[in-house]
Amino acid sequence: MSINFSTTSEYIESLPPDTKVVFRGIRALIKKLIPQGTERISYGIPAVFVENKPAVYFAGYKSHVSIYPAPRSHPDFKDELKSYKGGKGTVQFPLTDKIPSKLITRIVKFRLAEIKEKQAVKKSKSKTK
């Protein structure tokens, strides 16, 4: 049975106590890095959007907190993200470990740069038409 959340606060209240603590720390870091972002629930989990584009999704679980998308195949992250579980575009941070704030900061900044680059390409294409 899935629960439909309206806000990130509702989502957080559904998390196990230990997960809440870590999740709130990651949420605060993301808000600090993307103050212009709009937080909303998307695909059933919290996300921060920039100019109507998803910059980062984050979710809490019993034993970890995940961030999506994670640039696992990018050379600047490939080796470092090997030490974390996760799928092709996901990274899982175990609740038992310290929050890797520097890594999360780099991931979020990377995502913001990707969005900015895509928007620049889109503007460039629209000017040439």
SS3 assignment, position 75: coil
CATH assignment, 8-127: 3.90.1150.200
- Binned at pLDDT 50, 70 and 90, residue 127 comes out as low
The per-residue pLDDT for range 68-111, each reduced to its tens digit, is 999 998 999 989 999 999 988 999 999 999 999 999 999 999 99
Q: pTM for the whole thing?
A: 0.88
Domain boundaries, the chain: 8-127
Q: List C-alpha distances in Å: 75 to 69, 78, 100, 106, 123.
A: 15, 5, 19, 13, 27
